Chains A and B, each alone.
Chain A
Amino acid sequence: MGDSPLRPDGTLKVTGEFAYASDLWHDDMVWGVTLRSPHPHARIRRIDVSDALTVPGVTTVLTADDVPGDNAFGLEHADQPVLASEFVRYEGEPVALVAADHPETARRAAARIRVDYEVLPAVTDPLRAMDPDAPPVHRPGNLVRHLKLRRGDQTATAPVVVSLDFEVGMQDQAFLGPESGLAVPAEDGGVDLYVATQWLHVDQRQICLALGMEPERVRLHLSGVGGAFGGREDLSVHVHACLLALRTNRPVKMSYNREESFFGHVHRHPASMTYEFGAERDGTLVYARARTVLDGGAYASSTAAVVGNAGTLGLGPYRIPNVSVDAYGVFTNNPPCGAMRGFGCVQAAFAHEALMDELADAVGLDRVAIRQRNGMQEGDRNITGQVIDSAAPVAELLQIVADLPMPPERSAESDLRSLPGAVGNTTHGEGVVRGVGYAVTYKNIGFSEGFDDYSTARVRLEMTGGEAVATVHTAAAEVGQGLITVEQQICRTELGVERVVVHPKNTAVGSGGSTSASRQTYVTGGAVKAACEAVRAVVLERAAGLLGRPAGDLRLDGEKIVGLSGEVLTGLGEVLGDDAVEETVEWRHRPTHAIDPETGQGDAHVQFAFSAHRAVVDVDVELGLVKVIALDTAQDVGKAINPDAVVGQIHGGSAQGMGLALMEEIVVTDGHVRNPSFTDYLIPTILDMPPMQVKVLEYGDPHAPYGVRGVGEPPTISSGPAVAAAIRAATGKPLRRVPIRPEHITGT
């Protein structure tokens, strides 16, 4: 605990032996592909698959009529067809499936399915979609959720008022491992699905409803996951592969190509925001008013929860007595949006942090000081009235990043490759100006608003070949963040056993909950800790029986049972014999509560995590090119169980936030995605990323196991606004939209 053992999957990953979902293979396997709608909105008049079935090598073709259970799935609301039958509501919606002996055969056959579409007008402007007379994407109406938040004096006024409109484009998770899975029909008539996902059990629930099958016959196994970032919370290949496997009675592999991946998962919600802050002349915030509209696209996915975050956390980590916030999620015929790292807080942070800079200028404070003056402290209430009952080091985190060494000034001798445009040799430094920006955030950890957020762990302790071995079995998904290592570390700490085996992740044990919301080390870590404690209690009871002493006088120390003064009484092997001790525990964090529907007040969240960033940028104001020179950060992680993994999450999360500020956007016009490829959807390369200084604070949360605080998301939230602020500082332009494009900087 607190050191950084090597990850057990590391060697497999560097030798190429680690089996990702797209690497799976089975004797007699066929390939499944999906036919998708070319229209954002259309009525399906007729589907003719006869021509596709004549292609040699094709095993089967399926349409909505072949879905045996409910033709509907969804994370929170089952509103999305497994295969469209009557309407398609977004470009790329699945319409039919083909299985064939070669992926190219399947693709060619899919192209020969004739779908007779009646193209309908598409609702693509989320603001217009909110009009009561706008055509409904679903019936009734286009509002997924309206969150109202009212606190304090609604008529409050202030001597200094700043306001702005802000827009955030549609970001993609852009995990590298494509959506993939292998479905294998089983002898009991059920199916085994090996798949890359973030939450096996919520997938299983949805698959069972679609297949009309009980959970015992739909067994999910986690395959190697090539990154997730929220994009694997919703189903992709899951039901489709199972349907094809059950129909053909053959193992079916599905693996999206990159273009299909852009259509096959939900994205980060684009946002339109209008914010106003009122403050005293010394900069102390008096009131805040905000209106946020999130484009949820064609299906609900997790939009309601994203709205929850954009509302309840949407004003940042500041003390604001009088608040009026309205956050909306709406249906459109744009691509569906759902979970992505930072989950509703990312969009909001661009607005509240830009406004804090405005306020700083208006009252004559510097940009660190204005945030420190208003920053939350432990014991304060946030805008839903919830008391922040553990460390809230807003001011300290800002001070740390402000005090970090600055990168060296650019000089005539600086390498040209360090200029904006990088290796493109676009400038020799003329027209290049430098700017510095700051941002700070807080993020809820775990699921909020009364969700029953639990994880299950089974821990088994036994003697194997004279050595104690502990096995940890959870269904919590390792998506690259290092959870398996953390499970081992916790088990080693609690049981003192060196050899800890992490069982493959599957649905043979209870739910581990989602690998999202920065929650797994907290919640599954808590479950593993609790299961270890239960195992230890049984072992000590047994030892007490053997030794004739009260269990309370005994401790488990490595492979020994010791007494109160540390004297060795017997060995673990003597106590266990040939018997294993196995305990399964469901573990929950403190309950959260629904918020009041009229006022938005309530204890919605279980824990908050804080981070701050300072960005230094060089901007070529003639070409509109930006080079981030430094991106430094400080974050409170409560307790770093694995410091290397913590820093790795902070690096990677910061890169994603920077990407949104500078380059990452799915361009959607009239409901059509214009850039579904890594050629046109840009993610930061190693040339775009600057060096990072990372400072980690460890103010333990007294309510969390080991004091941990979720780590993964905060860096994605505060890095982007810091970069945007630095570009504004360099250029003097307001820049009220991200990603900031060259034309925004040059004004052309």
Chain B
Amino acid sequence: MRITTTVNGTEHEVDDVWPGESLLYVLRERMGLPGSKNACEQGECGSCTVYLDGEPVCACLVAAGQAQGREVRTVEGLADGDRLHPVQEAFVECGAVQCGFCTPGLLIAAHDLLARVPHPSDLEIREALAGNLCRCTGYEKILDAVRLAADRQARS
């Protein structure tokens, strides 16, 4: 089937999509946007988190057909050209990125949290990011990064 989806502001038309393909597969393998990651493809780890019409979802759990005519925003669409989003900057600066496989999903989840709750408490950060597994960092520096991004957003 043919699917037309707007991804990061650009309309993508993709042919020959199987009904069983996930949005994640179509983004990664058919649109050349591998930023969203394929760690579990079961909706358990959050590494494929993207915005679908402004709502964070696990792209692995969305059938590609469900994205027809809708707006997707992935990690590739967070930066403003060469200028990193404050959440991205904070992840790099705080050492919240080690292997980085969980990072794209965490960035979307953190970005969404800070849009809804500009000054989250630690418990609010933990609740918001509990669906995103990270195996490298022990999460301490991820918390640091979200706190720093919140501070920067408040100042800007």
Q: Which residues of A contact B (CB under 8 A)?
A: 4, 6-7, 9-11, 13-20, 22-23, 25, 102, 104, 173-178, 225-229, 255, 257-258, 415, 417-418, 423, 479-482, 644-645, 647-648, 650-656, 677-679, 683, 685-687, 689, 691-692
Contacts and interface: CB of A to CB of B under 8 A. Distances in A.
Top 10 closest A-B pairs, CB basis?
A16-B35, A480-B99, A651-B138, A13-B100, A226-B101, A678-B44, A23-B34, A10-B92, A655-B138, A16-B75
A713 B103 CA distance: 23
Given A14-B88, A16-B75, A692-B140, A176 B97 contact: no
Given A15-B84, A679-B42, A176 B33 contact: no
Give the interface centre of B41, B47, B99, B134 by most chain A CB atoms within 10 Å.
Answer: B99
Given A651-B139, A652-B137, A415 B76 contact: no
Interface string B100-136: 1111100100000000000000010111011111111
Given A15-B84, A227-B136, A689-B140, A22 B95 contact: no
B92 A11 contact: yes
Contact of B136 (A417, A652, A678): A652
B98 A648 contact: yes
A257 B141 CA distance: 28
Contacts, number: 180
Nearest to B100: A13
Nearest to B89: A14
A515 to B, nearest CB: 12
10 contacts: A15-B88, A16-B33, A16-B104, A173-B135, A175-B101, A258-B41, A480-B100, A480-B136, A655-B137, A687-B127
B38 A22 contact: yes
Contacts of A417: 123, 126-127
Nearest to B34: A23
B96 to A, nearest CB: 9
A6 B141 contact: no
B53 interface: no
B53 to A, nearest CB: 20
Give the interface centre of B28, B33, B95, B127 by most chain A CB atoms within 10 Å.
Answer: B95
B11 interface: no
A714 to B, nearest CB: 14
Contact of B123 (A13, A227, A415, A645): A415
A245 to B, nearest CB: 18
B14 interface: no
Given A177-B39, A226-B39, A482 B98 contact: yes
A9 B103 CA distance: 12
A14 B37 contact: no
B62 interface: no
Contact of B130 (A176, A482, A687): A687
A177 B42 contact: no
Give the interface centre of A10, A102, A654, A692 by most chain B CB atoms within 10 Å.
Answer: A10
Interface in B13-50: 18, 20-21, 28-29, 32-42, 44-45, 47
A178 B39 contact: yes
A225 B35 CA distance: 14
Interface string B36-80: 111111101101000000000000000000000000001110110
Contacts of B132: 685-686
Contacts of B136: 227, 480, 648, 652
A229 B101 CA distance: 14
Given A176-B39, A652-B98, A686-B143, A15 B44 contact: no
Contacts of A22: 34, 37-38
B100 A9 contact: yes
B65 to A, nearest CB: 15
B45 to A, nearest CB: 5
Contact of A175 (B104, B130, B135): B135
Contacts of A104: 18, 20-21
The SS class assigned to the A binding surface is loop
A686 B98 contact: no
Given A15-B84, A174-B135, A175-B135, A480 B98 contact: yes
Contacts of A19: 34
Contacts of A423: 127, 130
B142 interface: yes
B7 to A, nearest CB: 12
Given A480-B98, A648-B141, 5 more contacts: A104-B18, A176-B102, A177-B99, A255-B38, A257-B41
Nearest to B129: A686
B93 interface: yes
Given A17-B35, A677-B44, A685-B130, A176 B135 contact: yes
A693 to B, nearest CB: 10
A691 B141 CA distance: 10
Contacts of B45: 176, 678
B135 A652 contact: yes
Give the interface centre of B47, B78, B92, B101 by most chain A CB atoms within 10 Å.
Answer: B101
Given A16-B74, A480-B100, A687-B126, A645 B37 contact: no
Contacts of A479: 99
Give the interface centre of A228, A423, A686 by most chain B CB atoms within 10 Å.
Answer: A686
A225 B98 contact: no
Contacts of B29: 25
A226 B36 CA distance: 13
A177 B101 contact: yes
A258 B42 contact: yes
A258 to B, nearest CB: 4
B143 to A, nearest CB: 7
A178 to B, nearest CB: 7
A683 B130 contact: no
A739 to B, nearest CB: 17
Nearest to A481: B98
A11 B20 contact: no
Contacts of A14: 75, 78, 84, 88-89, 91-92, 97, 100, 103-104, 107
Contacts of B99: 175-177, 225-228, 479-480
A227 to B, nearest CB: 4
Nearest to B102: A176
A6 B39 contact: no
A686 B92 contact: no
A683 B142 CA distance: 16
Nearest to B47: A176
Nearest to A645: B95
A685 B99 CA distance: 17
Given A16-B75, A689-B138, A176 B126 contact: no
Nearest to B76: A16
A496 to B, nearest CB: 26
B107 to A, nearest CB: 6
A180 to B, nearest CB: 9
A685 B135 CA distance: 9
Contacts of A177: 37, 39, 99, 101
A175 B99 CA distance: 9
A176 B74 CA distance: 19
Given A423-B127, A687-B127, A20 B40 contact: no
A17 B32 CA distance: 11
Given A15-B79, A16-B75, A480-B99, A226 B37 contact: yes
A258 B39 contact: yes
Contacts of A683: 133, 135
Contacts of A678: 39-40, 42, 44-45, 133
A315 B103 CA distance: 39
A13 B44 contact: no
A18 B76 CA distance: 11
A16 B36 contact: yes
A16 B95 contact: no
Contacts of B39: 176-178, 226, 258, 678
